[in-house]
Structure 1
């Protein structure tokens, strides 16, 4: 057996390449959308990708299953569980509880493990050349290292009211299937630390069934289903706005993007015309450089591992947008945007000096600015972070929902915004400046700086 774990740090998303070396064929589980990675592995291993498997209809990334199938001719093996509202709307081989997929000497047994979503399945791998005992379990968003998939996403991200408690009940039942497996089975989940598909995902890439039964808090409730539901629904992070679009695009027939596109460099006239049409500039420079001089109306989302997540919060899927980035950054930025379906990149500019007007500058303040009574302090962190400890008098407006809550931001007082370390605050500052606020000040040191200087927090 050949096995390779492919990990996308930008979305903390794992996919898997599993091959039977004797037969020269391979399967890919939950592929990301820039599928050239898997084609290169297949080439290196002299294998043909014949099977593409998915654990569920994903919300956090746009699956590359259909792109990979188009390029390889491989068959799609997808869940037919969950009822009529949870069926994939394109050609595939349907899977149900107990289905078995043969891949040379390898076999994948299907377990229906609903709760995160109704159609969710897991794949139990048996390497028949060695033993009839199971070797690995690919859980998708069912069980993570130290955590389990959240059942509230459909309600909070996709607007499916009344689904989180039934999902939690389903998830409690699914855990019993997991608990019945041998303790030595390796568990390979769909996500790692940093994903918002759970609230406390571990940083190591894999685990075992036995370890999770002992150490994972979700397995400590035994017969206490009520306690489990209260636990699993509490303190979950805010799901990004783009999740609803991913649920749709991963279910329906959609246009395919089988290679990473090259972006066009815009000239000054094209930039001016695009801005006149309302296209947004996403400025990918670091927050200090942005603060020193930025094109009015641009939004600062730094080029780091969270770039595509925040882009998914602030961009829509209909309006073209522009990147401000150096040419060497473009391929990786484009890949990150592809992975959540943001394909509508109009072009890029490499410098703020393509703008012919005056640059704006951000107002950065120190800790002392927060000790003025006649100000509004706005904490842009998530609700769980805020509730764990915040500056006295600070109001919580999560940065991802900031543009929907502009009425909560004072237009009369001096407003000081902050987050934990400054990355989210620079997004918030640029959004508020774009909305016309002139009274905003960024405490870019954030809670880290506040605590470093010995200041107190309240709960």
Structure 2
């Protein structure tokens, strides 16, 4: 139960969840047709739809930190809606905003927003305490206190991870001094690579976290640091770029991004000049026939994460889509992480390519009962692998394959949790020259069920 905080949230606050990035933005109805947006991403479609439904104009856009996993939408809201951007003074943003120091307050017109310095996830991180008079309605904690954990502290480099983890400890201690009934509205949630644990809950209360958050149960600072740093896994390489882009201010979008139609000849020319071809169709369609050299990245909520992890943003991108797939959604997913060099999509899809005489390659899809004695390459995250894997399977995270895919073993069966990451991996390996690859259509649980054998755990 969120008690006082939930009562406020039900009436005035709209969480806007990006399932792909595992993040939440928030729209707060301030009354009189005005709204506050917190941690809005560059893809503002859901936020604008929510504002329109309530007849709201965004008057304030607050960012808790220099985001690493998406481009901020605050600057676009300032341009389009006249919103006042609120952010930490320590962030040294290079565009017009209201810089806030610890304890500074902003009158929202009946409600008050108070900045609380909570460094750790980033140096300049602030939380925003929302006050109704003297009552603490809730706190936007960004990448500080999150449901069941605290956000990672290694985004400024491994050499600073411990220093920032200690800062994170002090920030969480500060937040837990708020009343237990105070609602906690974090940005990062399940599915985020910013160290969020699995789970369906995305908002909580201070009191609930005092009871259930393992990090808050650490007996002292050193134990907290060990637990937090010990929980960190790899993260997408594009995280290293976006913080600085957000500090300078992302380019404004004059219109919604989209994909121009390209004929097969134009696609060939772009690829010959160093462009990448991304095939966004479902894995069964990709397996049945794709353009040689294409990288499989099925259009789904996680599309942007893997695009940003595996491909550079400074080369033209050509896409293959299947019937019914939304090119506008794909273009928005690219835009929210700063991938703006979209050459377009193959007009007519694979039918047009085949009709033009273009070559086609296939990759075998296999079920768990058909792996046999073939070597298995497991491309899941390390934590997933250690929790349970096929005996003898070689671990190789998908995020590393762009650099070392040339070491793949011909004839391998590539596997992940469902098949999408495995097909992406197989397509990358094929680009590096691997042959006779197959992809497991299923999971390790399917293998255990079919074979009756136990999974191995550990590394």
**TM-score for both structures, normalised by structure 1:** 0.91
Q: Distance in 2 between matches of 1:226 and 1:378?
A: 37
- 1:7 Cα offset (Å): 1.6
- 1:250 Cα offset (Å): 0.9
Counterpart check, 1:270 vs 2:266: yes
What is the aligned counterpart of 1:124 among 125, 129, 154? 129
What is the aligned counterpart of 1:137 among 133, 136, 139? 139
Residue aligning to 2:430? 433
**In terms of mean alpha carbon deviation, does 254-263 or 181-190 score higher?**
254-263
**In terms of mean alpha carbon deviation, does 300-309 or 261-270 score higher?**
261-270
Could you tell me whether the CA contact under 8 Å between 2:291 and 2:361 is conserved in 1? Answer: yes
Q: Distance in 2 between matches of 1:404 and 1:69?
A: 39
What is the aligned counterpart of 2:455 among 440, 451, 457? 457
> Secondary structure of the equivalent of 2:447?
helix
Counterpart check, 1:197 vs 2:207: no
Counterpart check, 1:62 vs 2:64: no
Counterpart check, 1:231 vs 2:233: no
- 1:327 Cα offset (Å): 6.1
Distance 1:39 1:306, change over 3 A: closer
Counterpart check, 1:219 vs 2:216: yes
- 1:334 Cα offset (Å): 1.4
Which stretches in structure 2 are left out of the alignment for 5+ residues?
1-10
- 1:337 Cα offset (Å): 1.4
Which stretches in structure 1 are left out of the alignment for 5+ residues?
156-160
Distance 1:10 1:406, change over 3 A: closer
**TM-score for both structures, normalised by structure 2:** 0.91
Q: Distance in 1 between matches of 2:94 and 2:392?
A: 50
Matching of residues 245-324 of structure 1 within 5 Å: 245-324=241-320
- 1:426 Cα offset (Å): 0.4
- 1:230 Cα offset (Å): 1.1
> Secondary structure of the equivalent of 1:162?
helix
- 1:445 Cα offset (Å): 2.7
- 1:240 Cα offset (Å): 0.8
Q: Distance in 2 between matches of 1:30 and 1:269?
A: 42
Could you tell me whether the CA contact under 8 Å between 1:426 and 1:444 is conserved in 2? Answer: no
Q: How many aligned positions are there?
A: 441
Distance 1:244 1:214, change over 3 A: same
Residue aligning to 1:28? 37
Residue aligning to 1:351? 349
Q: Distance in 1 between matches of 2:233 and 2:222?
A: 21
- 1:180 Cα offset (Å): 0.4
Matching of residues 293-442 of structure 1 within 5 Å: 293-325=289-321, 326=323, 328-349=325-346, 350-355=348-353, 356-367=357-368, 370-372=371-373, 375-410=374-409, 414-442=411-439
Could you tell me whether the CA contact under 8 Å between 2:379 and 2:398 is conserved in 1? Answer: yes
- 1:429 Cα offset (Å): 0.7
Displaced runs of 4 or more, over 6 A: none
> Secondary structure of the equivalent of 1:110?
strand
Residue aligning to 1:153? 155
Could you tell me whether the CA contact under 8 Å between 2:376 and 2:394 is conserved in 1? Answer: yes
> Secondary structure of the equivalent of 1:218?
coil
Residue aligning to 1:443? 440
- 1:365 Cα offset (Å): 3.6
Residue aligning to 2:206? 209
- 1:294 Cα offset (Å): 0.9
Q: Distance in 2 between matches of 1:309 and 1:438?
A: 27
CA offset digits 1:339-386 (Å, max 9, x no partner): 1111111111242123232311102344456442xx543211111122
Two-structure CA RMSD over aligned residues (Å): 1.9
Residue aligning to 2:21? 11
Q: Distance in 1 between matches of 2:445 and 2:294?
A: 26
Q: Distance in 1 between matches of 2:197 and 2:176?
A: 20
Distance 1:291 1:273, change over 3 A: same
Counterpart check, 1:90 vs 2:95: yes
